Chains A and B, each alone.
Chain A
Amino acid sequence: MSASTRREFFKWLAAGSFSLKFAHHTLAETSPSPLHEAMHYERTEGKTIVCQLEPRQCEVNDGERGFCGARENRGGTYYSLVYAQACAVYAERMEDRGFYHAFPGRQALAIGTAGCNLQCQYCETEQISQSRPEDVEAEFLLPEQVVERAQAENCEVILFTYSEPTVFFEYMLDTARAAKKAGLGTAAHTAGYIHPGPLKEVCAYLDAINLDLKGFSDDFYQTICGVWGNQPKLEAVQKAIVAAAETGTHLEITHLIVPEHNDNPQETRQLCEWLYTTLGRDTPLHLSRFYPNYLLATSHATPRQSMDSARAIAHEVGLRYVYLQNMNRYEDTRCANCGDLLVERKRAHIQCTGIKDGQCKQCGEAIRGVWGL
C-alpha cells in the first residue's frame, strides 16, 4: 500500500467513524465525510444541476438534495453521500433476494445503502430506503473491502439490493468492477427507474439483474410509487427493461401483486403480454406476494387465489418460467420443454442437478440463466 493511499484511507476511515458516532442530521454539512462526485448530472444556469441518472431528472439547487436524499449539490457539484456507506451487508441466498435462474443456491453478499428514488407506499425497507444517509447506521466499506468481505464469508456473488442500487450507482459500478476483477459473480435487484444509458453502463459488469415491474399503468406508478406529475412513469421502466435486455445480462422480472391496486386480471395479462413480446417466453417472472407495510400497513396480504390466478394468466400468455415469491417456500425449476427437474429447492438445501452447460440434461433445451461462474 503506497503512502498516499494509506493516508487517504485512514482519513476516510476516520471520517467514516466520525460520521457513525455522531449520526447527525447535517453530518454531510458539518463533518468531512467521504464525498464522491456523482456521475450523470449536468450543470444548468448558476449552481443548479440536473440529475441525468434517472427519469425523475431532479433539478437540484445549491445545498439541496435530489429526491433520493442520497445525492447533494454543493456549490454546483453533485456528490453521492452514500458512496461506500453500506447500511445493510448480509450474506444471503440468491433465492432469498429474488433470483431463481442465476447462481441457484449460492451465497451472495447483499449490500444496500440509504435512499431511494421512488417512494412506494408498501416499501418493506423504508427504514433505510426512505431515510437520509445521516439518519441510518452505515458501515464504511470501500469496493475492495466489499470484495474481501464476500470472500471472507464464502460468498460467490455480490448483490446490490435492499434499497435501490440506482441511488448508489457510483458505488455499485466500482464494486461490480472490483468483483469482476476478483472473479466473483455480480447481480443487482432494482426498481428499474433509471435512464437506459447508466443502466447499460453498469450492466457491463453485472451477470444478472432483477428488474421490478411494479405495475402496468402510469396510475400505479403515480399513486403507489410516488412518481408525480409529468415525470415519465411506466414507460421509463419499460425502457430500462428493454435496455437491460439489449446488453445480454441475464434478466429476471419481479412483479409485486398488491390487492386492489394492481391485481386485476386485465392488467396482469397486459403485463405478461408485453413481457412475452419484448423479452420472449423464457425470461423468468417472479410474482411476489405483498405484505402490508409502511403506508399500506392497514391493508391485507395478497390472497393465494390472486397469486394463483396471476400465475395462470402468465402461463396462458405463454411465459414458461413463472414463480411465486414470498409464499414461505421455494419453488423448483423444471425444464419447460420436458418437465425434468432442473433445480431442486428444499428449505435447507438447493441443488442444481439437471443443468449442464446451460442446457437441460434430459432434452438439451437451452435454459436461460447464469448457472455457474
Chain B
Amino acid sequence: MNRWLEYGVSRREFLKQLGWLGLSGSTFFGYAQAARQSEQIKNASAQPASRIVIVQKPGVVRAATEERYASVQRMLDTAMVRLTGAANTQQAWRSLFTSDDIVGIKLNCLAGKALSSRPEVIQAITTRLREIGIPGRHIILWERSNRELNAAGYPINRDGNDIRCYGTDDKRAGYGKQVIAGSVISRLSKIVTNHCTALINVPILKDHNIAGVTASMKNWYGAIHNPNKYHSNHGDPFIADLSTIPMIRNKMRLIVCDALRALYEGGPSYHPGGVWAYNGLLVGTDPVALDQTAGLIIEERRREAGIPSLEAAGRPPRYIATATQRGLGTNDPARMEVVKIGI
C-alpha cells in the first residue's frame, strides 16, 4: 500500500487499473505490468518514466452536447493532473505553459468533419490555457490548409481578437526556410517557426494505410510543405526524422490525442466501417510512448474485430522503434508508465 502511495498512484486508481485489467484482457495486463516494471526501474535508477495517461468515459460521444463538452473537460482535467502530478488543474497547465506563451494547437483535419480533432477537446484545452492567463489571440489552431480547417468545421480567423485559426497556406503564414529532416529537405510552416512559442499536438487516433498508425509523430506531416517525400518505406525512418527537427522537438510541450472516436481500419481518411467509439483521450509528453500506446490500442481493436494485425496487413508501425533510436522518447514498456483512468 505504501509503495503505491509513494509513487503517486492512489489506491482507488490502482484498484481501477486492476478492474480494467480484468475487463480488457491481455493487452492491459501488459500495461499494468509495464507500469509496475517502470516503478521498479525508478527505484533502481531514479529515471523518470514516460507517462501516458489514458482517460476513458464510456458513452461520452453519444451524450448530449452540453454533457459531452463537460465530460471531455473533466476527462482532460483528470488526465492533466495525473500526467503532471500537480495538485490541481491550473498548476498542471502552469507546469507546462506560461502566460507569455503563444500556443499553436496542431489539429488533424484530414478526414473531414466526421473524424477530425473534435471541438470538445479543443474547447477543453483552450479553456484551461485562458485560465492560466494566455489570451485568446495567443492561441492558434492550425492545420496544413484553410480548406481542411473549414471542412472540419473550424472557421478561419486570422486576425480577430479571439482564438486564431488558419492553415499554413493562409496569406498570414506560408512555408519558411529549408530544414533538413534526416535525408529529406523540407520547408517548415511559419506557424511553427515564427508564430508560436509552444505547440500542442492534437492528433486523432487512426489507422494509416501506409504508416500503420497515425497519432502524434505522424501528425507533423501537416507542418511541412512536402509530405509526399516522407511516405516511402511505410514512413520509416521519415516520420521519426521529422520529429527530430529542433523547432518541432523543442516547441512541442503536450500531446492530447483525441480518441473519442478512433479508426482501426481504412485510415487515414474517414472510413465508416473502421470507426469505433473508444471514448478516450491519450495525454502525454513523450511522442514515442504515446504512439506506441496508440498502436497497441489499434492492434487490440483489430483483434476484437477479427481482422489481421497491422503486422499481418504488411504495415507495422516500425517508425516508432526508429524514433526511440533517434532519442525522441521511448517505446520500451519498462520505461513507459501507462496510467489508465475510467470516469
Contact = CB atoms under 8 A, between A and B. Distances in A.
A is bound by B: yes
Nearest to B208: A61
A25 B209 contact: no
Contacts of A227: 232
Given A25-B169, A62-B269, A67 B233 contact: no
Interface string A50-79: 000000101111111111110000000000
B169 A24 contact: yes
B209 A67 contact: no
Interface in A225-242: 226-231
A47 to B, nearest CB: 7
Contact of B232 (A29, A56, A295): A56
B110 A229 contact: no
A311 interface: no
Looking at A25, A30, A121, the one whose CB has the most chain B CB atoms below 10 A away is A25
Given A24-B169, A48-B209, A229-B234, A61 B269 contact: yes
A69 B228 contact: yes
B186 to A, nearest CB: 10
B110 A59 contact: no
Interface residues of A, number: 34
Contacts of B227: 64
Nearest to A69: B228
Given A69-B229, A119-B184, A229-B232, A59 B147 contact: no
A59 B231 contact: yes
The binding surface of chain B is classed by DSSP as: loop
A46 B233 contact: no
Contacts of A56: 232
A249 B88 CA distance: 75
Contact of A231 (B183, B184, B233, B268): B233
Given A26-B169, A132-B225, A46 B266 contact: yes
Contacts of B229: 67, 69, 119
Interface of A: 24-26, 29-30, 45-48, 56, 58-69, 119, 121, 130, 132, 135, 226-231, 295
Given A30-B169, A67-B228, A130-B185, 16 more contacts: A24-B169, A25-B169, A29-B145, A29-B147, A29-B169, A48-B209, A58-B228, A58-B231, A59-B209, A60-B228, A63-B148, A63-B269, A69-B226, A135-B225, A229-B234, A295-B180
The 3 closest A-B pairs by CB, nearest first: A229-B233, A26-B169, A228-B233
20 contacts: A25-B174, A25-B225, A30-B147, A48-B209, A48-B269, A61-B268, A63-B110, A64-B227, A64-B231, A67-B228, A67-B229, A67-B231, A69-B228, A119-B184, A121-B183, A226-B232, A228-B233, A230-B233, A231-B232, A231-B233
